Structure 1
Amino acid sequence: MTYVLVLIVLTLAIPWGGTVIARRLAGGLPPRWACLMLTGAAVLLAGGTISTLIGLFHVPFLASLEHLPLAQVLEVWPVVVPLAGVAGAVMLVQAVLLVRRLVQHRLLLKRAWLSADEGVGDGDVLVVPGSDVDAFALPGYRGRSGRVVVTSGMVRSLKEGEREVLLAHERAHLAGRHHLLSAVVDLAAVVHPALRSLRAALVFHLERWADEDAAATVGDRRAAAVAIARAALAGTSHGRVAGYPLLSATSGPVPQRVEALLLPEPVAPRGPARRAGVTALAGTVAGGAVAALALAYGLHEYVEYAARQLIGVPGGCSSLWGVVDTLVGSGG
């Protein structure tokens, strides 16, 4: 059973390496592709973790299918119940945290809309009165379409051309439905602690995605860089007005964003560099999937082995259904 325990450790440890590779690969991709890659990696790595926990939790159930008394199973594999219990407890905690996080997202969005109701509408823009200096994209809620929320303090702090960049940035968040990518990675981070590092990386690349779209809209990368820098310097604290801290033009490492806008538009790597990065990430994710499948197969085969040892099933019965058929044929 040693190899099964090795697979358990390997499957649960793979996300630590996977997140490092994903972040490094994202650094060499255009922002849009970096965001999609980070989100996909988070989902796949979280899925592998959940699959491993489900497999461990179901070992006693598989034993019951073999008509094995739990006491006899414990004689062959004493840790089966503790492992299944830990896996079940972890999944229960994960479920509670996921529900809690979903509720938090909904409450934050509701609070954001309540504060935005104080604003004056102008198309898809809501100007909220107050001395705070802030701007953010507010996703749709209960039939209401998404809006760009800007405080009057932010409006006063920027010049006309800079306001155009700011609005284009926030509109890019709404058009790209960036809040969904952010929510997916945020929820995946609840499943495995290693995935938490992907949240900050995703926030940065989401802001870079919106920066690039804003620069393309105004047709001047330098002007976009100046506007983002001025908005960040003027901002009091992003999300303070509505309590919704995501998708704000002043979030993320602003100096790096400004520096990137002063460089030529990023393009996807080609040739050996692209193949090496994609292969590394794909290999890590695939390794996690293979380890999870191997773990499931190993647990399955071990239960069958225990059945043959405990109830005297002939060695020729090498499958689960062969064991069940033998049990039924012999009267149980």
Structure 2
Amino acid sequence: MRIAVYLPLLLPALAALAARPLADRLDPRLATWLLTVSAVALAAASSAALALLALAGLARIPLVDTVGNWSARVMQRDDPTALWVALIAGALLTAAAAAAARMFWRRARTLLAAAAEAACLPGTGELVVTDDPAAEAFAVPGRPGRIVVSTGMLHALDHAERDILLAHERAHLAGRHYLFTAATQLAAAANPLLRPLATAVAYTVERWADEHAAAACGDRRRVARTVGKAALAASRTGGRTRFPAAALGILGRRPASLRAAGPVPRRVAALLTTPPGRRTLPLAATAAAVLLAAALSSIEAAHDLEALFDLARLR
């Protein structure tokens, strides 16, 4: 446990640095899967590392040795983990567990509320048009999911752009993009170093839907123009004020204010260039190497701690 146990705590910082380049350079569907799996795996590995460090420190307390039938003296002598490190690890693990549980409850509640809201929307079809001058458009997950578009948004777009808007929102529902964002938000709650991955996934799911709309209409420039017009319409009319917590829309997640337009300019720029390549092998191999290193480090640290416990039981 001298080095291996600390590696899963460092890898999330490296992954955070790579999150935006991966989001910009990879095919958005591949980037979404890669970033989501990496975030969840690294959150689990870092939590396991904190648990091992905390357990090693707990085992050094004399009052605990009677429960495990081991020698606290041997643990204190042979365990390379300083007691203060173990105490900090225990505190961080407790905070991570509490934050993850709170985030899980919040996301589960918002998804259930979204499903209930989708079921209660007027009509029985996929599309729901609201009489509202504010330009709004979003997809609400549920069984079935619904697409909500305001009259203000419809008036801002022409017929072809409305089809692009609907193709974008249908991609959110068909791809279950809300599950990717929920998973990365849960991972980021457990390990705040992974927040850039959650931010990157919020961007890549929008890029995924953009590329789906571009494939449907066959004109990337028209999709870019539609995204830009929708953003301008929402800014001018005060849209996105009633954006449900679990919904996804053509303008992305709701920002803190209308001035914070989010990654719309990056999406428009991406649509005005050639489609992203599917260079899966080098990047997938790198991500797999990082995840493998985290897994092997956790296993090695657990094996070292088990060997230390065996030694303490023999003395």
Aligning the two structures, in what range does the TM-score lie when normalised by the shorter sequence? 0.7 to 0.9
- 1:173-212 paired onto structure 2 within 5 Å: 173-212=172-211
**C-alpha distance in 2, partners of 1:153/1:219?**
26
Structure 1 segments unaligned to the other structure (5+ residues) = 312-332
**Higher deviation after alignment, 257-266 or 81-90:** 81-90
The aligned counterpart of 1:296 is: 302
CA contact (8 A) 1:116 1:128 kept: no
Q: Tell me the alpha carbon deviations over residues 89-131 of structure 1, each in whole angstroms, 9 at most, x when there is no partner.
A: 3333222212221232244446656777885437201122323
Per-residue deviation, 1:208:
0.8
- 1:1-332 paired onto structure 2 within 5 Å: 4-59=1-56, 60=58, 67-70=69-72, 73-74=75-76, 77=79, 83-109=85-111, 120-121=122-123, 123-140=125-142, 144-236=143-235, 239-244=240-245, 246-251=247-252, 252-269=262-279, 274-308=280-314, 311=315
Residues 1:263 and 1:122: Cα distance change in structure 2 (over 3 Å): farther
* 1:264 counterpart letter in structure 2: T
**Higher deviation after alignment, 237-246 or 276-285:** 237-246
Which secondary structure does the structure 1 equivalent of 2:248 belong to?
coil
**Higher deviation after alignment, 11-20 or 64-73:** 64-73
**C-alpha distance in 2, partners of 1:12/1:64?**
31
**C-alpha distance in 2, partners of 1:115/1:134?**
16
Please give the TM-score of this superposition, normalised by the length of structure 2: 0.83
Q: Percent identity?
A: 35
**C-alpha distance in 2, partners of 1:238/1:156?**
13
**C-alpha distance in 2, partners of 1:264/1:220?**
11
* 1:222 counterpart letter in structure 2: R
Per-residue deviation, 1:256:
1.8
Per-residue deviation, 1:201:
1.0
**C-alpha distance in 2, partners of 1:199/1:107?**
19
CA contact (8 A) 2:129 2:149 kept: yes
The higher radius of gyration belongs to 1
CA contact (8 A) 1:132 1:235 kept: yes
CA contact (8 A) 1:17 1:284 kept: no
Q: Tell me the alpha carbon deviations over residues 226-260 of structure 1, each in whole angstroms, 9 at most, x when there is no partner.
A: 11110011114664213427522112411221122
Residues 1:16 and 1:78: Cα distance change in structure 2 (over 3 Å): closer
**C-alpha distance in 2, partners of 1:205/1:294?**
34
**C-alpha distance in 2, partners of 1:118/1:155?**
22
Which secondary structure does the structure 2 equivalent of 1:68 belong to?
coil
**C-alpha distance in 1, partners of 2:303/2:241?**
51
RMSD across aligned C-alpha pairs, in angstroms? Answer: 2.9
- Number of aligned pairs? 299
**Higher deviation after alignment, 16-25 or 29-38:** 16-25
Q: Tell me the alpha carbon deviations over residues 51-79 of structure 1, each in whole angstroms, 9 at most, x when there is no partner.
A: 21232343356966762254664465596
**C-alpha distance in 2, partners of 1:238/1:64?**
63
Residues 1:227 and 1:31: Cα distance change in structure 2 (over 3 Å): same
**Higher deviation after alignment, 256-265 or 28-37:** 256-265
Per-residue deviation, 1:13:
1.0
Residues 1:303 and 1:110: Cα distance change in structure 2 (over 3 Å): closer
The aligned counterpart of 2:259 is: none
* 1:200 counterpart letter in structure 2: T
